[in-house]
Chain A
Amino acid sequence: MVEYKVQFKVFEGPLDLLLYLVKKEEVDIYQINLTRLATQFIEYVELMKELDLDLAGEFLVMAATLMLIKSRELLPRDLQAPVGPEDEDLEDPRWELIRKLVEYKKFKDAAAELQALERRQELTFPRQAPRPEAPPAPGRPEVSLFDLVGALNAVLQRFQARGHASEIVEDRWTVSEKLEELRGRLSGGQRFRFAALFDGATHRAEVVVTFLALLELIRLRVALVTQTEAFGEITIEAAPPELSPPPDESHSAEPAVPPTPVAPALP
């Protein structure tokens, strides 16, 4: 059969019980009658033993100390062991006990203050700043109109070299068609070189129409045209969202594009 022991939590140690008894007396520690305190302490210890509470051995040591104090005081005063400053070695057990009690009480008070801090800290919420976003990579400079025209010129010269210049063709390409085609390529997240824009072009007029569509998309801030360095390769990509105007604006702007075919001026 397992023996049940109740852990006596209220009094953690004998000093705890002593302080409790002092408090019950409603007197300050320095006024306490140790003889009476000893009697009460021993009563409590006896009762706790009777209740079979698990009592720390220190309680019994304290009870013994109190018994000693009590027994000394049963003697007539002139028979008591002399105490006082003249015999330093002989520590008065009463003084020793009071000193311990006072010291312990101070720490107990301080522990209560720490407990208040513990509670306060539970209620304290620090500001939690989000991790700052890494600054954007140094932006590639946006391309000027002159850069674009210069690049277009290089493409057009390719067609001239192929000898298409004098050929007469009907107007098969419109800006709005090319615009939609380009928009589709960009919205797919594609990113391509300027020259690649005209890879499929079969005619000088198609190049010009595609170019005009690109200009319109730049104006609408749908396309972003950048250059890694001055006179370097021109790259076309979809503009980041913050550059896009509100949708209704871009919508109303669209009809501004002339649906009519552009007839490039042929030499």
Chain B
Amino acid sequence: MTDLKLVLEAILFASQKPLSVADLKGVLARAADQSDEPAVRALKRTKTDEIAAALAALRDEQEAGGRSYCLTCVAEAWQFVARPEFAPWLRVLAGERARPARLSPPALETLTIIAYRQPITRAEIEQIRGVSVDGVMQTLLERGLVEAVGRAEVVGRPITYGTTKAFLEYFGLASLDDLPGGDELRRIPVERPPTLLTVEPGLATVPPAQLNLPSAEPAAPDTPPAPPAAPATSDQQSP
């Protein structure tokens, strides 16, 4: 029995571009059609979740193997990448890469709000940021990181915005589920305490539990879909 993992590894190794599970499924099916070998034909009807599981296992194996590269999933597509700590050498090798300028803090904040609360109107974003977002929205739209996704069913039917595939690629995220601290920031509003405790005038109290992102602590290990491209912040910086 041919090891599906190794077949996928070989395909991704030789591929010119990242491949989605559907792409890989297609390659397996076409190869089976063109081959008489039982080992190749055996993989013809490989199921999507089998491929996904094999990819995850392969990624973990690569990870455990302590290689200089790893398998990563960005915007639902898998590819091999070198680990960030080897960037000093690879930068020389690759020459200047045409990577767009880094986002400004306001742009990042606005983008974050859109990412977690999409679809969201401009007015809603401004409510959270407490300041107009016209300029940064323009930047984000021009860079293709966000796009209009519909209209809100409220008076005036304002445009709602959401993030694009380019957004996932720019941050190396597998999917929107992969956003750091996602659950906390999505729709859950900050709960109003049962009674506002004003022991002393001017002192307002909010439960301390609501003050920090849960992911500020080391990422919980029970979140399997997070690929290495979306790690906890601790291992970001290479020495």
Write out the residue numbers on chain B whose beta carbons fall within 8 Å of the beta carbon of A32. Answer: 203-204
Known A-B contacts A103-B128, A119-B236; the reply to A33 vs B215 at CB < 8 A is no
Q: Is the CB of A125 within 8 A of B233?
A: no
Write out the residue numbers on chain A whose beta carbons fall within 8 Å of the beta carbon of B204. Answer: 30, 32, 34, 92, 94-95, 97-98
Q: Place the interface of chain A in its size category.
A: 35 or more
Complex interface bits, B104-132 against A, C-beta within 8 A gives 1, otherwise 0 = 01101101110110000000000011111
Q: Place the interface of chain B in its size category.
A: 35 or more
Known A-B contacts A83-B196, A125-B87; the reply to A113 vs B181 at CB < 8 A is yes
Q: Is the CB of A122 within 8 A of B99?
A: yes
Write out the residue numbers on chain A whose beta carbons fall within 8 Å of the beta carbon of B94. Answer: 125
Binds B, one of A9-17, A140-148, A256-264: A9-17
Q: Determine the residue in chain B with the shortest Cβ distance to A97.
A: B204
Among A16, A33, A130, contact of B202 (Cβ-Cβ < 8 Å): A33
Among B18, B171, B179, contact of A126 (Cβ-Cβ < 8 Å): B18
Q: Determine the residue in chain A with the shortest Cβ distance to B88.
A: A123
Q: Is the CB of A84 within 8 A of B195?
A: yes
Complex interface bits, B10-39 against A, C-beta within 8 A gives 1, otherwise 0 = 000111101000000000000000000000
Among A15, A83, A103, A121, contact of B171 (Cβ-Cβ < 8 Å): A121
Q: Is the CB of B172 within 8 A of A124?
A: yes
Q: Is residue A162 within 8 Å, beta carbon to beta carbon, of the partner chain?
A: no
Tell me the A residues contacting B by CB distance below 8 Å: 12-16, 28-36, 56, 58, 62, 69-70, 73, 77, 83-85, 92, 94-95, 97-100, 102-111, 113-132
Question: What would be 25 A-B contacts, judged by CB atoms less than 8 Å apart?
Answer: A12-B129, A12-B131, A15-B129, A16-B130, A33-B203, A58-B130, A73-B201, A73-B202, A77-B201, A95-B192, A103-B128, A107-B109, A107-B113, A107-B129, A108-B109, A109-B213, A113-B180, A113-B215, A120-B231, A122-B102, A123-B85, A125-B82, A126-B79, A126-B80, A130-B16
